[in-house]
Chain A
Amino acid sequence: MSQQHNHSGLTRRQLMKALGAASLLPLAGGVGSFAIGGQHAGRVVVVGGGFGGATAAKYLKRANPAIEVTLVEPAETFYTCPFSNLYLGGLRGLDKIAHGYDELRDRYGVRVVHAMAEDVDAEAHRVTLSSGESLDYDRLVLSPGIDIRWNALEGYDEAAARKAPHAWKAGPQTELLRGQLEAMEDGGTVVMVAPENPFRCPPGPYERASLIAHYLSQHKPRSKVLILDAKDNFSKQGLFTAGWERLYGDRIEWVGLSNDGRVTRVDADRLEVETEFGTRHQADVLNVIPPQKAGWIADRAGVTDDSGWVPVKPETFESQRVEDIYVVGDASVAAPMPKSGFCANAQAKVVAAAIAASLESRPAPDAYWSNTCYSLIGPEYGISVAGVYRIQDGHIAEVEGAGGLSPADAPDSTRALEAQYAVGWYNAICQDTWGTTPGTA
């Protein structure tokens, strides 16, 4: 007889085992928030519908469909930061980085509420929404992504971002920047300001510079990109530098901290920036990737520390400060894991398993995480960095001997293969997170 499968992909054998284990639980006592009468196996509210939040909601339901899961996300359409650089480079429509919540709602039975989470009362275990509704939870997952630290860089506030976009949250900001690139005259200079660590998507600024350079090389061949950087080293630096030389010659210029690359003041009206030692740079298009912090609801929940980010217990990503609140994705302090969509998705799965276990008073499974970050230097030139992570001595650590960068001396065919796999990765992680595969262009 062939094995039977339910939609979660578990085999009948695995399901029977899981059910067998669960049926023993009442013996353990202290089953927490199991509802009397069995309506639900606990209430989990997830705030944020990006890679971390949407994945947490889905995998909570996969772990135990009886858990009542509510996802709170203001936007009905979510635009991903990953692949937004392809849109900026003219390689992909905005609709191909757009995702919705149909699968979570219709297939997994997640209640999706399009509102803003405005406050968290950790003691009462309650989240208040912009709609006036409040949601009680047994466990709360925060996946709020980043917020911009306005004015941390002098002159860079919300008004400035309307003239010199950050485009570090995908959507209208990304469209604004794309429009400016299209409107720029040939011979112009695109100035990019890159921040100190830590920030969302460490290789992101350099992929962006690459794909803007690609666009310029096709449409505005006398134009260039100048990156002013607050650091001396960046992610995949050797691979980027070699790729830039190979594809773009001197079209991309990078100025690091030691060469007075750190921008200390922005004048968005004049599209001018000033560096630490007083050098002024005039831009035709100015993209400021500013200092960042955890999304503000994390502050309201009391889980951030002085750094503006959220310290978590490494094994489960439960807040170190507030019980029953779990924080995944860019907002959390998870180094050596980078702030990437892949990591947010990976962390969310570990959190979902940990919460499902805790609601049944079972120990959480051991955590396993991995990460692969692809960057496109050109449409057919991809590079990657990977990592596998486990708990070692109570900390998140990279498994030695695993992970690492694409080889420095690879032939063009390898770069082309990695560019294809980058698209494959994007389709897969979006399918895994939202159930949608946007295709290739």
Chain B
Amino acid sequence: MKRVFHRMSAGLMGALLLAGVTPALADDAFSPAQLEVMAGGCANCHGTDGRLSGNVPAIAGRPAELLASRLLAFKHESVPDTTIMDRIARGFTDEELTALAQHFADIYPK
């Protein structure tokens, strides 16, 4: 959200302030549209919304803490039998990985 907020036109900012509106997304680091884009690449192996289960596991609806700890471990540690997730996770900040974990945890699995 911070980033999106920066890019808002001055006019829109003014309009928001005049209207006394607090941006609805201020409690989260990333807007829903931003999270959709960030999560886009996950679907290519985990299915749309991370719901496809097969030899690549589904990630939708799993506890955020579990997903976050897995993602952070892929990035920072050496997880046995990892083939690809270490290479992907290193492309994201810890904040992004944690937000992605929450994003998929919030999705109903089926």
Would you give the shortest CB distance from B94 to chain A, in whole angstroms? 13
Q: How far is B43's CA from A387's CA once the two chains are assembled, in angstroms? A: 15
Residues B44 and A18 in contact, CB atoms below 8 Å apart: no
Q: How far is B87's CA from A418's CA once the two chains are assembled, in angstroms? A: 14
Residues A13 and B106 in contact, CB atoms below 8 Å apart: yes
**Given A28-B11, A402-B91, A428-B52 in contact, is the A365-B41 Cβ separation under 8 Å?**
no
Residues B41 and A370 in contact, CB atoms below 8 Å apart: yes
Residues A414 and B4 in contact, CB atoms below 8 Å apart: no
Contact with A along B35-56 (1 / 0, CB 8 A): 1111011011111110110111
Q: Is A159 an interface residue (CB 8 A)?
A: no
**Given A3-B108, A20-B24 in contact, is the A427-B52 Cβ separation under 8 Å?**
yes
Q: Is A208 an interface residue (CB 8 A)?
A: no
Residues A401 and B8 in contact, CB atoms below 8 Å apart: no
Q: Is B71 an interface residue (CB 8 A)?
A: no
Would you give the shortest CB distance from A337 to chain B, in whole angstroms? 12
Q: Is A124 an interface residue (CB 8 A)?
A: no
Return the contact of A429 from the options B3, B4, B38, B45 (Cβ within 8 A): B45
**Given A27-B15, A402-B90 in contact, is the A368-B37 Cβ separation under 8 Å?**
yes
Residues A417 and B47 in contact, CB atoms below 8 Å apart: no
Interface residues of B in 1-47 (CB under 8 A from A): 3-4, 7-9, 11-12, 15-16, 19, 21, 23-25, 31-38, 40-41, 43-47
Q: How far is B16's CA from A362's CA once the two chains are assembled, in angstroms? A: 14
Taking CB atoms, residues of chain A closer than 8 Å to B92 are 388, 402
Return the contact of B16 from the options A27, A342, A402, A427 (Cβ within 8 A): A27
Residues A345 and B9 in contact, CB atoms below 8 Å apart: no
Return the contact of B47 from the options A357, A390, A432 (Cβ within 8 A): A432
Nearest-CB residue, chain A, relative to B28: A17
Residues A366 and B37 in contact, CB atoms below 8 Å apart: yes
Taking CB atoms, residues of chain A closer than 8 Å to B24 are 17, 20-21
Q: How far is B81's CA from A420's CA once the two chains are assembled, in angstroms? A: 13
Nearest-CB residue, chain A, relative to B49: A9
Interface residues of A in 332-376 (CB under 8 A from B): 342, 345-346, 349-350, 353, 356-357, 362-363, 365-372
Q: How far is B43's CA from A27's CA once the two chains are assembled, in angstroms? A: 35
**Given A365-B37, A372-B84, A421-B55 in contact, is the A17-B90 Cβ separation under 8 Å?**
no
Residues B32 and A424 in contact, CB atoms below 8 Å apart: no
Would you give the shortest CB distance from A357 to chain B, in whole angstroms? 7
Q: Is B67 an interface residue (CB 8 A)?
A: no
Return the contact of A428 from the options B3, B7, B44 (Cβ within 8 A): B44
Q: How far is B64's CA from A33's CA once the two chains are assembled, in angstroms? A: 39
Contact with B along A424-441 (1 / 0, CB 8 A): 110111011000010000
Residues B81 and A417 in contact, CB atoms below 8 Å apart: yes
Residues A414 and B56 in contact, CB atoms below 8 Å apart: no
**Given A9-B51, A9-B60 in contact, is the A401-B90 Cβ separation under 8 Å?**
yes
Q: Is A404 an interface residue (CB 8 A)?
A: yes
Interface residues of A in 4-63 (CB under 8 A from B): 5, 8-11, 13-14, 17-18, 20-21, 24, 27-29, 59, 62-63
Give residues in B with beta carbon < 8 Å to A: 3-4, 7-9, 11-12, 15-16, 19, 21, 23-25, 31-38, 40-41, 43-49, 51-52, 54-56, 60, 81, 83-84, 87-92, 106-108
Given pairs A365-B36, A402-B92, A417-B83, 14 additional interface contacts (CB within 8 A): A3-B108, A11-B106, A27-B15, A62-B36, A349-B36, A366-B3, A366-B34, A370-B88, A388-B91, A399-B91, A402-B89, A406-B83, A418-B83, A432-B43
Of the A-B pairs whose beta carbons lie under 8 Å apart in the complex, a sample of 11, sorted by A's number, is A18-B32, A356-B33, A365-B34, A368-B38, A370-B44, A403-B87, A404-B87, A414-B83, A425-B44, A428-B47, A428-B56
Q: Across chains A and B, which 3 residue pairs bring their CB atoms closest together, nearest first?
A: A388-B91, A402-B91, A9-B49
